[in-house]
Structure 1
Amino acid sequence: MTVGDPRSGTGAGSPDGLVIGLHERVLERRLQELIDHRADARAVIEAVDEADAPHVLSRHVAGHLASALADAEEDDRVDLVNRILRLLPENPDVVLDGPHQLLSFYPSDAETPSRPTTPLSDVALLTNSPRDPQLGTELKRELASADRVDLLCAFVKWSGIRLLERELAQLRDRGVPLRILTTTYIGATDRKALDRLADEYGAEIRINYETRSTRLHAKAWLFYRETGFDTGYVGSSNLSRAALVDGLEWNVRISRSATPSLVEKFTATFDSYWNAPEFAPYDPQRDATRLDAALREARGGPAGAAAGTSAGDIDTTLLDVRPYPHQQIMLNDLAAERETHDRHRNLLVAATGTGKTVIAALDYARLAGADRRGRGSRPSLLFVVHRAEILKQALHTYRDVLKDGSFGELFVDGHRPTDGTHIFASIQSIGRSAQLQQWARDHFDIIVIDEFHHAEAPSYRRLLDWFEPRELLGLTATPERTDGVDMAAEFFSGRTASELRLWDALEADLLVPFHYFGIADNTDLSSITFQRGSYDTTELSKLYTGNDARTRMIIAALTDTVVDVSTIRALGFCVSIAHAVYMARKFTEVGIVSYAITSETSRADRAELLNRFRAGEIRCLFTVDIFNEGVDIPAVDTVLMLRPTQSATIFLQQLGRGLRRAPDKSVLTVLDFVGHQNAQFRFDLKLRALTGASRRRLQRDVQQGFPFLPAGSQIVLDKVAEEEILSSLKSTLNLSTRDLVRDVANHKPADTSAAEYSLAAYLHEADRGLADIYGGSGPRAFGGQQRARSWSALKDWSFPQARLALGDDEVALLSRMRAFTHIDDNERIDRYRELLDGTLPSDDALAADPYAAMLFYQLRPTAPAGEIADTIRRVRRMPAIASELRDLLEVCEQQARTLPQPLAGLERVPVRSHSRYTREELLAGFGLGTTQQGIAPGNMREGVKWIPAAQTDVLLVTLKKSESDYSPTTLYRDYAISETLFHWESQNATSPESPTGQRYIHHRQQGSHVVLFVRAAKEGDLGTEPYICLGTVDYVQHSGSRPMQIEWKLERAMPAEMLVAARAVA
């Protein structure tokens, strides 16, 4: 390579050829010498991640080899290549003289199809320039030799189909599958084109009918070939004549030979879209009316404005209502609260516009299904809300979900129920004392109260006090109110059954994206009184109210951030009424017409101000009373956070006021003004609520500019705000042992002794998690002592008078306590408790107990199985270990949200689907180390294990192979295609012909099982991440060899949160 070659990283402009700037070069001896001789620069050198090393090293060797071949004599090139190949351990075949390439291999009597102009192994950028082949011509040639075709195209036009008719007909005649994904976005697709593709050319078509918004603007083809020489095009060309022939379009040609990771990502993404509920199968005979209505609506016309069709002619009760992943997570949480914890008064918290009513309806459908199986009828239902329009929408939603157009009766605005079994009532209609007393207290099996934050009102109180339903479900976007009432604490024993994860709703495109700006406001809050997570509001009000310098800075920041301050619809959240009035006055003085709406504003004035705000006469409303429903206006496009908020719940409530979709609103702008905070203030709570980032990743995300937010959303911090936030994160997320000891002591209730002080009590009072106790690496040090990271160590140091003496065995075992932090099923928790507390069976019985083996290998991963009984007996005599485990199991029990089930065909194995396990625990559960002798679970490092005693292949999958944040070469080896399909890549040595490959393919016929365990990453906040058991799987199909790519079908649909983590697309 010559100086200036980008592969060398050298340039003529530097004294020694080593250029200042970003590099990505394998460290060689000469390069190290160059670095060592440069005292004027600093090099950042990192080890290549193990998962990325094959790609990085092969790329490095390829660069040198290409240079050497270019410099070699023509006759020497093949010899040079063969000398290198002979050095490889697999001893590949030699290259023959020439060199020559095989270009095709077809039956003697078959015509060889034309080849694309671009070689199958090459990449190219096609721009429809005179020097480039036309995209349309290339597509025709690609179609001629494809064995399968996938097309992802936002718009499909008749003019584009006409150009490819002959090739499409040949594709059909050869029996080649053609799959097409498209949309109704802006009404640009021609139904005639889709009908022709389906009817004439046998294409399978799926359509995204979402017309409010769509993020699918992609245009891409992939041509699969049995030879492995797959090719594709990704770019700007829709399926239209202009795009394929003479438009100024750019399209990148990819190939499996040159860009395998891109082809793998294409395949994974397309399959995920294809199996997503948002894409509905299209049959021209069945779905033409629906498609026409959607296209007309997308073009701006009424959905039913043609050919005597009305929107009402489309019976929506015939369409399946399927939950989005975030809704399924909440449904699973609800089921776990009832079935695992026996809780039947539950609260769901989710932002307005994210489908709370759909969740309630789907929940009712599940309960109704269980009731019908048990007693033959649907359970009685009362759905209560205070606004008639919401009530009618709710009734319509329940009918759609249940596919029953006659379900339910209204009790509002003159409507009176006649049957009285399934009632949708306004609180005004049913909440009067005289009305309530007409119903038996247990008349309704299920009561759902929407907008539950109104429950403190007398009418709701009367209703809740009167009825005694089997299930009570509250729905709200605002669980904490400014009047001090906490809905969960007041009505639901302090527990929220499920709370929407903001990023999930954004990924589902249910809310507008946000652009969040963190701006330093130069105020010093460090001396303001800070107690129990909040600042003193009186002191804050004095600091902010009348602070003209801060207000000028706020107005300047707003003006700089939004496109046009004269068109905004903004909400500003203030610390006090005086602060809100002051801000409204100051904004109005500079021409931004603003008012304050507070608890002192009369109802009439509030209604007038809101109407003027909607009409655009008022540009900004300042408020303290953020839970007032009247402030919930979809048109809000700007949110000003003018006071510090640590509570993630309140922060999301404020944010949620602007996240609702509205016409001509593409993004919510959020300005959060950051001061110098009290040392105890925790930025991590709201940042994790905003981003979904783990504790471990949060600091890195702040430094790197939050690279993995949902599509369209951004977080921008100015330099001072970033430094303030990073400083806070470092002190609050990485608490020193000294600070943590002090925190433990400060939060102990006065009426609780040190011995009785439980881990669960501390975590609840201090708003901390298990990662605060067990996270981090290495032992803790305090007062000259070193101890393993454990609750008992923190208690001993916080309360020396209650300290327990520890033996050497106890010290060693305490280092294993974090291995129990993941346990999430009651059966395992109960069995571990029995082993710690109950009457132990004989040594032989203990040795044969699979739960005893699982507990044992959690404590001693590499020990021989013969020590199981002795170890468990000794642990019971160790107060520190037994007490720690009991405390941990109590926390695990409280946090459990799974619905575990026995494995199909393996009911005697104590491993349950959807539960989490360490590697040692799950392998012990299948008998490794006991019934399957020869290796202890802690000594097994491979990702696959055949266990003959259980006739089971255990597959252990880590989705994120590399520790780097993004590794495109390893991301798409293992992924979820849908909730019941999983794409898995075998070990490199496995071929379809090998005994292992044959067992995978024919496991059902041979009577063996395959069980799949998946985790997102190797490491998490608590160290090594556990695996989630996805259960038994069945072979569907495979491709490739050494490694094999296998598609498995899950016996039980994977948990929704795992689907979100494992699928190839958002």
Structure 2
Amino acid sequence: MPDLPSGLYDELVTLALRRRLEDPALQADTAPLSPDTASEALARHVFRFAAAVLSSVKGKEPERITRQVELTNRLLDALAELDGAVDPEDRVTAERLLQVLRRDQVRLGAGELPRPSIPLRHSDLIVNGPKDLRVGREIQREMVSADRVDVLVSFVKWTGFVEIRDALRAFRDRHGGRPPLRVLTTTYMGATDHEALDALRELGAEVRVSYDTRRTRLHAKAWLFHRDSGFSTGIVGSSNLSHSALRDGCEWNVRLSNVDNPTILRKFEATFAQYWDEGAFEDYDRDRFLEVLAARRNPERDALAAAVRMHPYPHQTAVLEALEAERAAGHRHNLVVAATGTGKTVIAALDYVALCKRLGRRPSLLFVAHRREILEKSRATYRAALGDGAFGELLTGNDKPLVARHVFASIQSLHGRRLGDLARDAYDVVVVDEFHHAEADTYTALLEHLTPAFLLGLTATPERTDGRSILHWFDGRVAAESRLWDALDQGLLVPFQYFGVDDQTDLSQIDFRAGRYSITALERVYTADEHRAEQVLRALTDRVRDPTRMRALGFCVSVKHAAFMAAFFQRKGLPAVAVTGESRDDERRSAVRRLASGELCALFTVDVFNEGVDIPAVDTVLFLRPTESATLYLQQLGRGLRLHDDKSCLTVLDFIGRANRRFRFDRRFGAMLGGGTRAEVRHAVEEGFPRLPSGCSIQLEEEAQRSVLENIRRTLSSWGSLAEDLVEDWPLGTFLDRADVELRELYLAGRCFTGLRERRGYVESVPDTAITRALPRLLHVDDLDRLTRWRLWLAEDRPPTPDLSDPHQRMLFAALGQAGRPVEELGAFLDELWADPVVLIEVRQLLEVLDDRRRKGTHALAGLPFRVHATYSRDEVSAGLGEVRQGKLLRTQGGVYKCADHRCDVLFVTLEKDEKDFTPTTLYNDYPLSQRRFHWESQGTTRLESSTGRRYREPPADWRILLFVRQAKKDERKLTMPYLFLGPVRCVSASGERPIQIVWELEYPMPAGWFNEVKIAAG
């Protein structure tokens, strides 16, 4: 037997393989089978040998086939004895393959339904070669026999439409003139012919278009041919709908069969469904299509059209939902933080529309900005949102309003006597753009004078460079943040290529206090000689195509450092200047203009370009200083992320040295990753950042990665480090703010805040009880009902009277680790909780923090103690429903259970069923199709006509089906992840059986932020 080659494997360890692995010359890494993928792996193993046995059968035809059928039936009989999923009806009865099935009302002759050239059970590669199939002809043959067709192409040409027109007509006629054909395409590059889209519509196709002419998130070319028989097929590859691509172009396309590649087609179907239902693709309208193409040739008109896009992106919807929840909780002064270019004004306009609907009138409005251009664009956005071209008046140096009820005013026009003459309550709604200017005297005077019912601040930069906070205008709170990650995924910003470069500096001994290095010490290290500057230049030459044509911003540690770098670049033939707080305004404006025009290659600055300066042409960002602040880091990164015709991505060079032990690398990488604990960031660094927004990449040089990981591991939730940060016996909320610690990092498994206080000597020893061990499992509690009821009880000196009929008492019992205890001991549990005042104080403080951080709206359901879009553990669900078995709460293991008392079925769904990062065989069983629809797979033995199957499809009038969904089994702390309650659902389609594939329609749309996080599709 030949030696086993070295390399990667994905093979079951058989007895024979185990013996071979005993060779002392071999080093084998093995892993346990995952419970969620074991069945698929074992089935493949059985298939391999079943196919070999059947192939080895000897004899002449047809006796050989008869023998193969007999062997197959023997195998099925053996399986039927083991599990009810196989029954005698599954035996093969004849040596025939069913190829076509017709019903009486469908009159099709044998010649009228041509079969694809590639058998329905097989996959193949089509290359348009001289002796190969042509993809255009195969599309036509596939289409005629399909029950539904979905098409996804970047552009549609008239020549491509004509190529397949006859097949489209045959498909239409077969379906009685109403062909189930859906087409997704784009206006990108103006390549799509409107005549082709008109013709598709005339044939009855549904056509949706991305009207974004500047960029496209759609590069895929794919066709999905659904067949109700189960023999669906797909074609995925390089061919758009054009004559050359379909006929003779050098194109590669893979034809996929649902028989041998069901997972890929399921992923195709799920992703297409998400594209179809998301707002980026809108119904084709000929006039709008032509207008958008015309606007593409007029950049100013195109920019205005983009500015007034009134279908919010998912990340904008999430912000609007958060604002609604804040106001419902009584917070009427709210700050929104969103990266430049992500549509802050659209958010403000749509928020105003929502206020109009809620109040039943248009409240008076004052929108404040510092430039007339911003005011004009903002007014246009509000007009588009309201559908009122006459809305709003300008107040500037040259413009005076007549009515002054809805005013877009420059801050310069609101000062002195004019401000004094303005009634304090003149405006119901005040919106301040670029709110980080609020500490300037003119803004402060305005905000102190006015008393609006609603204040909305908009900013990309909540951290001011002068250190003055703006949060005091908002009770110390940020209402909502639009994550940079989401804006990148939506294509609102250019993607970035990040390179972490080892600069060979040692900062480990430099003084580090209050989250900052000594500026003087850093300056000495960076300007003592040109060694580090040479490193910077080498990295640029290696990673930037032509440094002489780049437009770079370099963020330096000091004025001297910026001047040093500019002088060095000048000597190396790269025109550069330093722009700092000491530069005159005209010098800054000139430098920005020269960089944008290409006259300069680089600007080196300290803090000048952190905020408020828009240079879309910047294509390179150099981080030449260690920045720990996540907000400041994102501000600087954001300077280069604006869309511009001359760049397809931003190049980021971050120069990393050996850091002081208290420096936090996890903050900057957490910011780039869209959030996360230190453990999550460490995992991302170790794995090479596998999950990033579309088009983005992060690469760390080996030594830089080693430095980053060493730093993160050293600071990773160190109990001693956290104890050092507890310099006073603060309440929990104060400690989290002062120490800048994530709640999830503090409450790792087995930890609690009281334990930290004990370590510092502020309290006596903490008992190890089920209650203290359960505290980390309280972090998901996020609804008003539980928090209000529990906090009211806990505020009292004595426990409430035990009441087993109260679902919230039962849920508190379950949440604090008592689910395995007889429910009759509810009173004893309450006594135990109140008996330890130190732990009781922590529970009170933890619930206070959770209540303060509650940011989402939830919805009550009649007759149930749950709120839609709140989060619950399984034990809490059982407790809330009062499901008790043998005196204890029911602890369900399966994904479904029936609750007769509350007349409902409860569905528990885990989206990522394997604990590994990516498992294609389990990822596409259950998934959201849109914010309103969810694809779900029943248990493996459920049939359509079983009592359960019928109840799912057509439940009694008083019966509800409740859907609880979580992303994974474990969270980043390795604790069991709770479920988001998506509310009642109803079946809109059901197909197949054992399992049944069901599409549920939700009574309440999923939260936009959550949907954007868990959906399959990018963008």
Query: Where on the TM-score scale, by shorter chain, does this alignment land: which range?
Result: over 0.9
The SS at the match of 1:608 is helix
What is aligned with 2:806? Answer: 849
The SS at the match of 2:208 is strand
TM-score of the superposed pair, with normalisation by structure 1: 0.91
The SS at the match of 1:596 is strand
Within 5 Å, give how 1:714-729 maps onto structure 2: 714-729=697-712
1:22 aligns with 2:8: yes
What is aligned with 2:384? Answer: 400
**Structure 2, gaps ≥5 residues long:** none
Q: Structure 1 residue 837: deviation in Å? A: 4.1
Q: Identify which of 866, 874, 885 aligns with 1:919.
A: 874
Go from structure 1 to structure 2 and tell me whether the alpha carbon gap of 1:698 and 1:65 turns closer, same or farther (over 3 Å shift). farther
Q: Structure 1 residue 700: deviation in Å? A: 2.5
What is aligned with 2:822? Answer: 864
Q: Give the distance between the partners of 1:891 and 1:462, measured in 2 at CA.
A: 33
Q: Structure 1 residue 271: deviation in Å? A: 0.7
Q: Structure 1 residue 1035: deviation in Å? A: 2.0
What is aligned with 2:97? Answer: 101
Q: Structure 1 residue 93: deviation in Å? A: 4.7
What is aligned with 1:968? Answer: 920
Q: Give the distance between the partners of 1:837 and 1:616, measured in 2 at CA.
A: 65
Q: Structure 1 residue 625: deviation in Å? A: 2.0
Do the aligned partners of 2:715 and 2:721 also contact (CA within 8 Å) in 1? no
Q: Identify which of 66, 73, 85 aligns with 1:82.
A: 73
Q: Give the distance between the partners of 1:893 and 1:647, measured in 2 at CA.
A: 26
What is aligned with 1:790? Answer: 752
Do the aligned partners of 1:478 and 1:627 also contact (CA within 8 Å) in 2? no
Do the aligned partners of 1:928 and 1:937 also contact (CA within 8 Å) in 2? yes
Query: Which whole-Å deviations, capped at 9, do the CAs of 1:787-834 have from their partners, x for residues lacking one?
Result: x4222222112116x31564xxx6232111122111112321121123
Between the two proteins, the alignment pairs up a number of residues equal to 997
Q: Structure 1 residue 839: deviation in Å? A: 7.9
What is aligned with 2:22? Answer: 36
Do the aligned partners of 2:503 and 2:535 also contact (CA within 8 Å) in 1? yes
The SS at the match of 2:282 is strand
Q: Give the distance between the partners of 2:218 and 2:295, measured in 1 at CA.
A: 18
What is aligned with 1:6? Answer: none
1:943 aligns with 2:926: no
Go from structure 1 to structure 2 and tell me whether the alpha carbon gap of 1:191 and 1:842 turns closer, same or farther (over 3 Å shift). closer
What is aligned with 2:911? Answer: 959
**Structure 1, gaps ≥5 residues long:** 4-11, 305-309, 749-753, 777-787
What is aligned with 2:237? Answer: 235
What is aligned with 1:437? Answer: 420
Within 5 Å, give how 1:687-836 maps onto structure 2: 687-692=669-674, 694-695=676-677, 696-735=679-718, 737-744=719-726, 746=727, 748=728, 754=729, 757-776=730-749, 788-799=750-761, 802-804=763-765, 806=767, 811-836=769-794
What is aligned with 1:779? Answer: none
Within 5 Å, give how 1:207-218 maps onto structure 2: 207-218=209-220
1:654 aligns with 2:636: yes
Q: Give the distance between the partners of 2:632 and 2:217, measured in 1 at CA.
A: 29
Query: Which whole-Å deviations, capped at 9, do the CAs of 1:718-773 have from their partners, x for residues lacking one?
Result: 000000111112122242x33333333x3x2xxxxx4xx32222111111122222
Q: Structure 1 residue 311: deviation in Å? A: 8.5
Query: Which whole-Å deviations, capped at 9, do the CAs of 1:121-148 have from their partners, x for residues lacking one?
Result: 1100000113322222222221221111
Q: Give the distance between the partners of 2:825 and 2:486, measured in 1 at CA.
A: 46
What is aligned with 1:206? Answer: 208
What is aligned with 1:9? Answer: none
Q: Give the distance between the partners of 1:427 and 1:792, measured in 2 at CA.
A: 49
The SS at the match of 1:1010 is strand
Q: Structure 1 residue 169: deviation in Å? A: 1.4
Query: How much is the aligned-residue C-alpha RMSD, in angstroms?
Result: 2.2
Q: Structure 1 residue 676: deviation in Å? A: 0.4
Do the aligned partners of 1:187 and 1:296 also contact (CA within 8 Å) in 2? no
The SS at the match of 2:645 is coil
Q: Give the distance between the partners of 1:790 and 1:629, measured in 2 at CA.
A: 39
1:388 aligns with 2:372: yes
What is aligned with 1:476? Answer: 459
The SS at the match of 1:949 is coil
Q: Structure 1 residue 296: deviation in Å? A: 4.2
Do the aligned partners of 1:626 and 1:654 also contact (CA within 8 Å) in 2? no
Q: Structure 1 residue 937: deviation in Å? A: 4.1
Q: Aligned AA for 1:1001? A: R
Go from structure 1 to structure 2 and tell me whether the alpha carbon gap of 1:389 and 1:963 turns closer, same or farther (over 3 Å shift). same
Q: Structure 1 residue 358: deviation in Å? A: 0.6
Q: Give the distance between the partners of 2:893 and 2:578, measured in 1 at CA.
A: 63
Q: Give the distance between the partners of 1:92 and 1:210, measured in 2 at CA.
A: 56
Do the aligned partners of 2:125 and 2:255 also contact (CA within 8 Å) in 1? yes
1:370 aligns with 2:358: yes
The SS at the match of 1:614 is helix
Once structures 1 and 2 are overlaid, which stretch shifts more, 224-233 or 74-83?
74-83
The SS at the match of 1:87 is helix
Go from structure 1 to structure 2 and tell me whether the alpha carbon gap of 1:853 and 1:954 turns closer, same or farther (over 3 Å shift). same
Do the aligned partners of 1:481 and 1:627 also contact (CA within 8 Å) in 2? no
Q: Give the distance between the partners of 1:344 and 1:143, measured in 2 at CA.
A: 56
1:326 aligns with 2:315: yes
What is aligned with 1:616? Answer: 598
TM-score of the superposed pair, with normalisation by structure 2: 0.95
Q: Identify which of 183, 187, 197 aligns with 2:186.
A: 183
1:534 aligns with 2:532: no
Q: Give the distance between the partners of 1:1006 and 1:192, measured in 2 at CA.
A: 48
The SS at the match of 1:206 is strand
Q: Structure 1 residue 104: deviation in Å? A: 1.6
Q: Structure 1 residue 658: deviation in Å? A: 0.3
The SS at the match of 1:1016 is strand
What is aligned with 1:448? Answer: 431
Go from structure 1 to structure 2 and tell me whether the alpha carbon gap of 1:632 and 1:379 turns closer, same or farther (over 3 Å shift). same
Q: Structure 1 residue 655: deviation in Å? A: 0.2
Q: Give the distance between the partners of 1:297 and 1:230, measured in 2 at CA.
A: 40
Go from structure 1 to structure 2 and tell me whether the alpha carbon gap of 1:157 and 1:934 turns closer, same or farther (over 3 Å shift). farther
What is aligned with 1:155? Answer: 155
Q: Structure 1 residue 1044: deviation in Å? A: 1.3
The SS at the match of 1:24 is coil
The SS at the match of 1:327 is helix
Q: Give the distance between the partners of 2:879 and 2:665, measured in 1 at CA.
A: 41
1:1043 aligns with 2:995: yes
Go from structure 1 to structure 2 and tell me whether the alpha carbon gap of 1:96 and 1:815 turns closer, same or farther (over 3 Å shift). closer
Do the aligned partners of 1:598 and 1:623 also contact (CA within 8 Å) in 2? yes
Q: Aligned AA for 2:320? A: L
Do the aligned partners of 2:874 and 2:891 also contact (CA within 8 Å) in 1? no
Q: Structure 1 residue 429: deviation in Å? A: 1.4
Query: Which whole-Å deviations, capped at 9, do the CAs of 1:7-26 have from their partners, x for residues lacking one?
Result: xxxxx4xxxx2110011101
Q: Give the distance between the partners of 2:494 and 2:825, measured in 1 at CA.
A: 58
Within 5 Å, give how 1:535-574 maps onto structure 2: 535-574=517-556
Q: Aligned AA for 1:65? A: A
Q: Structure 1 residue 842: deviation in Å? A: 8.2
Q: Give the distance between the partners of 1:335 and 1:896, measured in 2 at CA.
A: 12
Query: Which whole-Å deviations, capped at 9, do the CAs of 1:479-516 have from their partners, x for residues lacking one?
Result: 1122222222x433332222221111101110000001
What is aligned with 2:144? Answer: 144
What is aligned with 1:780? Answer: none
Q: Give the distance between the partners of 1:1034 and 1:652, measured in 2 at CA.
A: 43
Do the aligned partners of 1:862 and 1:938 also contact (CA within 8 Å) in 2? no
What is aligned with 1:115? Answer: 115
What is aligned with 1:7? Answer: none
Once structures 1 and 2 are overlaid, which stretch shifts more, 823-832 or 382-391?
823-832
What is aligned with 1:262? Answer: 264
Q: Give the distance between the partners of 2:608 and 2:478, measured in 1 at CA.
A: 20
Do the aligned partners of 1:1016 and 1:1061 also contact (CA within 8 Å) in 2? no
Within 5 Å, give how 1:480-499 maps onto structure 2: 480-488=463-471, 490-499=472-481
What is aligned with 2:48? Answer: 63
What is aligned with 1:781? Answer: none
Q: Structure 1 residue 155: deviation in Å? A: 1.4
Once structures 1 and 2 are overlaid, which stretch shifts more, 490-499 or 352-361?
490-499
Query: Which whole-Å deviations, capped at 9, do the CAs of 1:608-633 have from their partners, x for residues lacking one?
Result: 22221222111100011245656430
Q: Aligned AA for 1:103? A: Q
Q: Give the distance between the partners of 1:1040 and 1:30, measured in 2 at CA.
A: 39
Q: Give the distance between the partners of 1:473 and 1:77, measured in 2 at CA.
A: 74
Q: Give the distance between the partners of 1:174 and 1:942, measured in 2 at CA.
A: 43
What is aligned with 1:782? Answer: none
Q: Structure 1 residue 706: deviation in Å? A: 1.0
